[in-house]
Homo-oligomer: A and B are copies of this chain.
């Protein structure tokens, strides 16, 4: 893990910690205890669990390990709120997280307050190694903030009443985007991976050379309107556009459209955090799987970019720009975005280690390396990514059938 040097920036870290912790609470604000408790599928976790797990991370790796005399808020809770750290011992089964009606949402809030207070008190005296873990914990919590939002969306979608978490954002009329323009990318050897002394996850390094062949990237992502054309052309009914595993998935799951889409009286609608509404043809398509992204690209006579092509294009751009999540409120892809924000962009790159990658020692080292099989890399961040969390070198990853994140498609082609 290439954790950035925290240098003497100690008070900023304290501010950042408070801001991150506050956003999580704010996201859970509109939720009832029940909303925050249920689990709609094994891939998703309850809000309460996200709130507690991110707290457990700080409690375990910072307070327990680096603050002498710290006493666990409740010694039975690590079993409940450890996610997957095998080195931290046995833990509650992932697919039974929705059974935890106790502790309540209020008790979890109290847990957060307890740990926050201890962290703030300890901060001035923590050694650098511990401060790095505090920073890691902030980034870790930001990851969970995005999951929290997408998991709530999934949970609400399972309720036939289709409740809205937030009112719809005011729509600004936008002209339909024109045809894709192709932007030629860099060719030859480029530097890939995190550089500099800012924070990055272990899997973003080591920085290394990569070789790019002549190619171009689309200047924008695929829109809902374009996706409708794919559907209308029988895209989901023709095997030839699909990877074999993707076609098996389409048939087994009876997939006919992106997740949350439903045709009502001839109109395609989508369910979102503001309820069910007609799709916006100008906005980026989202909630599509890698299989769908790849099939769409084949249908369109193009391909998905590699993660290196994407990173080379993004180098130098402001990763905090675009439509990302700044506070708790309406979240949705908007027309006309750039490389960062709106939707995570599926790449054609399998999630594998960079040359020279080594996991960190100890429990924290289970962070990313052990997921490096069967998943594909996504780049760029989405409308649900906390602003400030994105980076050009950031590697998100999901299985090729998963689509409950805000995932979309940018096309590429060979030159």
**Which residues on A are within 8 Å of B, measured CB to CB?**
32-38, 40, 76, 79-80, 84, 86-87, 92, 96, 98-105, 155, 158-161, 163, 189, 208-211, 213, 215, 239-240, 242-247, 290-291, 294, 348-350, 352-353, 355-356, 366, 370-374, 376, 400, 414
Which has the most chain B C-beta neighbours within 10 Å: A38, A242, A373? A373
Residues from chain B with Cβ under 8 Å of A103 in the complex: 161
Which of B102, B159, B213 interacts with A101 by CB under 8 Å?
B159
17 A-B pairs whose Cβ atoms sit less than 8 Å apart in the complex = A32-B101, A32-B104, A33-B33, A35-B101, A76-B160, A87-B240, A96-B158, A98-B98, A99-B158, A102-B161, A213-B356, A243-B370, A243-B373, A245-B371, A290-B373, A291-B373, A350-B352
Given contacts A98-B98, A355-B213, A356-B414, contact A37 B37 (CB under 8 A): yes
A103 to chain B, nearest CB (A): 8
Q: A102-B163, A213-B356 are in contact. List 7 more A-B contacts (CB 8 A).
A: A37-B37, A38-B38, A76-B160, A76-B161, A243-B370, A246-B373, A374-B400
Which of B100, B159, B209, B414 interacts with A159 by CB under 8 Å?
B100
What residue in chain B is nearest A48 (Cβ atoms)?
Answer: B34
CA–CA, A34 and B32, complex, Å: 8
Which of B92, B99, B189, B370 interacts with A242 by CB under 8 Å?
B370
CA–CA, A371 and B372, complex, Å: 19
CA–CA, A372 and B247, complex, Å: 12
Which has the most chain B C-beta neighbours within 10 Å: A160, A211, A414? A160
Residues from chain B with Cβ under 8 Å of A210 in the complex: 211
Is the pair A243, B372 in contact by a Cβ cutoff of 8 Å? yes
CA–CA, A163 and B350, complex, Å: 41
Is the pair B34, A101 in contact by a Cβ cutoff of 8 Å? yes
- Top 7 A-B residue pairs of the complex, sorted by shortest distance between their CB atoms: A350-B350, A86-B239, A34-B37, A99-B158, A34-B101, A213-B355, A35-B101
A95 to chain B, nearest CB (A): 11
